[in-house]
Amino acid sequence: MLVPLAACLLLGSIAAAAPAQAPLTAPNTTGTPRPLVIWHGLGDTAHSEGMDAFADRVRELYPGIYVHNVVAPRDASSSDESRAGWWGSAVGLGDDVCEQLAEIDELSGGFDAIGFSQGGLFIRYYAQYCNDPPVRNLITFGSPHFGIAALIPCPDPPTLACTLAARAAKAGIYTAWAQRNLIQAQYYRDPARLDEFLLSNEFIRDLNAEGGLDDDGEPTGREHGGLGLNEVENVVAIAFDEDETVVPGLSAHWATIDPDNTTAIIPLKDQQLYKQDWIGLRKLDKKGRLHLQTCPGRHMQIGGDGECGDKVLAKWVGWRA
């Protein structure tokens, strides 16, 4: 089932009788903490209880930090924002936020970014196709970077937006209509139907610069994956070791199901995406700037005070400008 972040956040700022923890500090100790942009996950909103609690936790750890929770589409109501996670254009949402972030003065010198689940794909889109102002550390929790091979379940109880989107997707996930109007369809990558995927998809295929190779041996994705991830200082991709919401869970590390053996997973380093370095992951890895990490638990269970989520914040957020 889809677990709202509010149900998973047991952070010290909202947990009763939390044990005392040693202070968490950034790698540098002078200047102002770098700003942070946060993009919520599927079915959530920028200012839900859980997202606001997470932003407050960041501010508690790093006094003076500027935190921006992405609202997409711009100025949307919470109901419209939640619906936009199911229905619409992934590229359209990405382009909308490209414009938004460029207008925020506090971000002009660059910022760190956290994307939760689906939100990690959108913040990647920003980094690969816009990146002005630039993303410094890109952090994703449970994001299906190499797509999903099964639809993400609706929450319990299911929302109308999710129910209708699921029915429409099952009617034809790779139809032109679904690829234009259903967000999940735009990162649905069925290893048994790769030909259909490569012909119809224009979001996750292009984000990973897939589409086969042209006559010169170059990937044929949209503008070869834009800027790729070469301009990001660090990519921190976090998977959950009991994730049953994203299939496969290790898509969070760019792994995929083997089309010849659906019980096997092909890790990133065994794929052409890495070997031919379509979006810069191999180069980042060789420089020690690609970090594939794991949190214990189910999808989006980032833990409580001092646990996995806090450890990520301690290491990768709050660096001094």
Average per-residue pLDDT for the chain: 86
The answer, yes or no, to whether the previous bond of 267 is cis (omega within 30 of 0) is no
Given a contact cutoff of 8 angstroms between Cβ atoms, the answer to whether 224 and 278 are in contact is yes
Average pLDDT of 210-223? Answer: 73
Query: pLDDT tens digits for 26-55?
Result: 454 557 899 999 999 998 999 999 999 999
Residue 108 is among the residues annotated as catalytic for this protein: no
Residue 117 is among the residues annotated as catalytic for this protein: yes
d(CA 75, CA 37): 16
Burial (CB count within 10 angstroms: exposed 0-12, middle 13-18, buried 19+), residue 180: middle
Which entry of 48, 82, 89, 117 is annotated as an active-site residue?
Answer: 117
Four-point Cα dihedral 99, 105, 109, 111, nearest 10 = -70
Decide which of 215 and 247 is more confident: 247
In the predicted structure, residue 223 carries a pLDDT above the cut 70:
no
The CATH class of 5-13+35-145+234-316 is alpha beta
For 236, list phi and psi in degrees, rounded to 5. Answer: -115, 105
Enumerate the H helices of the chain as residue ranges.
5-8, 49-61, 78-84, 90-102, 118-129, 160-171, 176-181, 194-200, 204-207, 272-275, 281-286, 308-316
pTM of the model: 0.86
Which entry of 68, 200, 299, 310 is annotated as an active-site residue?
Answer: 299
Give the 3-state secondary structure of 22-36: CCCCCCCCCCCECCE
Query: pLDDT tens digits for 237-280?
Result: 999 998 888 989 999 999 999 988 988 999 999 999 999 999 99
First to last CA, the chain: 40
Q: One-letter amino acid identity for 140? A: T
Residue 40 is among the residues annotated as catalytic for this protein: no
What is the structure's pLDDT at 30? 57
Give the position of tokens 């929790």. 141
Which entry of 112, 243, 277, 310 is annotated as an active-site residue?
Answer: 243
